[in-house]
Structure 1
Amino acid sequence: MRTIPTALAAHLDGEATTVCHCWRVICADGVVLGFTEHDGDLVFAGTTYRAASGFLASDSEQGTGLGAEAGEVTGGFSSAAILEADVVAGRYDGARVETYLVNWQAPGQHVRLRVEEIGEVVRAGDRFRAELRRQTHRLDQLQGRVYGRRCDAAFGDARCRVDAEDAAYRREGAVVAVLSETLLRVSGLSASPDGFFRLGEMHVLTGENAGARISIENHVRGEGGVTLSLWLPPPLPLVAGDTFAVTAGCDKSFATCGEKFGNRLNFQGFPHMPGMDFAYGYADGDTVHDGRPLHDR
């Protein structure tokens, strides 16, 4: 049950009120930002809530139970509050958002209405629209492991146990030419075999995208040089001269785990599980059913 402070409750019971909404945004990197729909900055609970953002809330529905209702906030890009580059780079993705009802004449009179997370962020000209998801949306996310033939560990994590920073699996290079939003000609990778960084990751070291991690679709060595294909365009356009580090890619198969990384003992999948043909099959005189693995790789 939500408890409304006595002073705020008395104000709300009056004939006229001076209330507005404020939003406290806690980003994944720990930075805390405050925004308000009021026409002046407000300060309470150690956070300054800026009016320059032009933040506005849309209508939203709130219900009981575990339903994953969602609302929205909109605002404009401003050098004093919201930077377009930060939105494009995904700085606010998954951020925690606390919504407050505040008496702007006495900001100490406030109550937290709800806690949500930022979901999809859409740009529209010089403005943005951010979806606010109730935290119960996490109940729709997969919990535990998936029983499948391919590995479900991330390359280089504690379950995989391969050192992704090992020089054998990591190279540094630079962008030579931008052929398209997702296709780059690069230097520094000519010593690696064709496809070695396919399904790997690019960590941008310099330029406007510094710090970004981008998934690699393919790595090809050709007569014109080495090219990297990206699954998605980077947050901001890459340019010639941007430097990066790339880590080897893994297709999560048992064969790749052994042949490319020598890591079969730590494979986090079930490569010998029977397929659908076997599951729907039946015993007959021509088939061996002695418990041996159906696949040796």
Structure 2
Amino acid sequence: MSTQQELYDHLETGLTTIARAWGIVRSDGARFGFTDHDCDLSFEDFQFKASSGVTASLLEQSSGLSVDNSEALGVLSDFGVKEADILAGRFDDAQVTAWMVNWANPDARTVIFRGSIGEIGRSNGAFRAELRGLSEAMNRPLGRVFQKPCTAVLGDTTCRFDTATGGYSHLAAIEETDQKRVFSWNNLSDFEPGWFIGGVLQVKSGAANGLSGNVKRDYVGANGLRVVELWEPIRVPISVGDQVRLVAGCDKRFQTCRLKFNNALNFQGFPDIPGEDWMTSFPSQGGENSGGSLR
């Protein structure tokens, strides 16, 4: 008998022992389990904590393509969701599965929601997380965009470039920093200034391990230090000595793809597409009207 059928049979008895449980898997692989039952539960490789104080509300689901929405409420605690992790963005887009379960027989259960975490608010020692259903992805634009710049992200499945190859990434310990946005080294002479503009700084150790930021500037300062500045600060302090990985930047131009990465065959833009000046050009009486290209 399926676990779902077991639950249905239990519901038909009229005397039920029903609870709800939520499993969260972050992008870094960390797993969390919560339940509104008064005792812990265990199934699907999750340990669902009863002492988390998590509840759910405003569950809206449909059989069509409209977006399913739900909301989870809970208490910030050392053994559950930490405020520091929320501030760091570790729960952004985490995968969520919710079950209705017979707490007296956890094998009798069914999935009632599957999706991801959207916006998270926090106040007075508690958090409120928006849960977005699988149909949320239907709101995202799909298809190719006809434009001169490349539409791929460096290293993704359409770009196909391996940033781990020599010269395109560098692992180094932080030598000087403002702890969140600006980082400096005495020697990065193997890379010309500007090499990492548009690239990524990935934190590999310390309190901010697993977080990353996009590079805004890469230059040699007045004191001779190589300086890398991010567009936005990383939301957890980074200390001197923490390991980071710098990945080369790409400005999406065909010349950069060809000359910097030798990856012109995988360029995902249209470098020869006419611009707006060509679209608005017209023949003039005093010009050459031979049937050739307008200039």
In structure 2, the partner of 1:143 is 142
Identity of aligned residues (%): 33
In the alignment, the residues of structure 1 paired with residue 258 and residue 168 of structure 2 have an alpha-carbon distance, to the nearest angstrom, of: 14
Three-state SS of the structure 2 residue aligned to 1:116 is strand
RMSD of the TM alignment (CA)?
3.0
Shift of 1:281: 3.4
Please give the residue correspondences for 1:1-297 in structure 2 after superposition, counting only pairs within 5 Å: 5-11=7-13, 13-14=14-15, 17-29=16-28, 32-44=31-43, 47-124=46-123, 126-179=125-178, 181-224=180-223, 225-284=225-284, 286=287, 290=292
- Stretches of structure 1 lacking an aligned partner (at least 5 in a row): none
Equivalent AA in structure 1 for residue 11 of structure 2: A
Shift of 1:219: 0.8
Give deviations 1:231-258, integer Å, cap 9, x for gaps.
Answer: 2222411112222221211110123223
Shift of 1:71: 1.8
Q: 1:179 to 1:26 in 2, by over 3 A?
A: closer
Higher mean C-alpha deviation, range 173-182 or range 63-72: 173-182
Shift of 1:215: 1.5
Equivalent AA in structure 2 for residue 8 of structure 1: H
Shift of 1:117: 1.8
Equivalent AA in structure 1 for residue 136 of structure 2: H
Equivalent AA in structure 1 for residue 7 of structure 2: P
In the alignment, the residues of structure 2 paired with residue 290 and residue 125 of structure 1 have an alpha-carbon distance, to the nearest angstrom, of: 71
In the alignment, the residues of structure 1 paired with residue 42 and residue 257 of structure 2 have an alpha-carbon distance, to the nearest angstrom, of: 55
Equivalent AA in structure 2 for residue 275 of structure 1: G
In the alignment, the residues of structure 1 paired with residue 114 and residue 36 of structure 2 have an alpha-carbon distance, to the nearest angstrom, of: 17
Shift of 1:60: 3.0
Q: 1:259 to 1:178 in 2, by over 3 A?
A: same
In the alignment, the residues of structure 2 paired with residue 168 and residue 179 of structure 1 have an alpha-carbon distance, to the nearest angstrom, of: 26
Contact 1:216 1:229 in 2 (8 A): yes
In the alignment, the residues of structure 1 paired with residue 46 and residue 240 of structure 2 have an alpha-carbon distance, to the nearest angstrom, of: 41
Give deviations 1:149-181, integer Å, cap 9, x for gaps.
Answer: 001222234543444223322233332333363
Three-state SS of the structure 2 residue aligned to 1:113 is strand
Three-state SS of the structure 1 residue aligned to 2:277 is helix
Equivalent AA in structure 1 for residue 206 of structure 2: G
Q: 1:69 to 1:187 in 2, by over 3 A?
A: farther
In the alignment, the residues of structure 2 paired with residue 287 and residue 96 of structure 1 have an alpha-carbon distance, to the nearest angstrom, of: 63
- Stretches of structure 2 lacking an aligned partner (at least 5 in a row): none
In the alignment, the residues of structure 2 paired with residue 102 and residue 261 of structure 1 have an alpha-carbon distance, to the nearest angstrom, of: 52
Shift of 1:189: 2.1
Q: 1:24 to 1:159 in 2, by over 3 A?
A: closer
Higher mean C-alpha deviation, range 167-176 or range 133-142: 167-176
In the alignment, the residues of structure 2 paired with residue 45 and residue 155 of structure 1 have an alpha-carbon distance, to the nearest angstrom, of: 35
In the alignment, the residues of structure 1 paired with residue 114 and residue 265 of structure 2 have an alpha-carbon distance, to the nearest angstrom, of: 43
Give the aligned length: 289
> TM-score, normalised to structure 2's length?
0.83
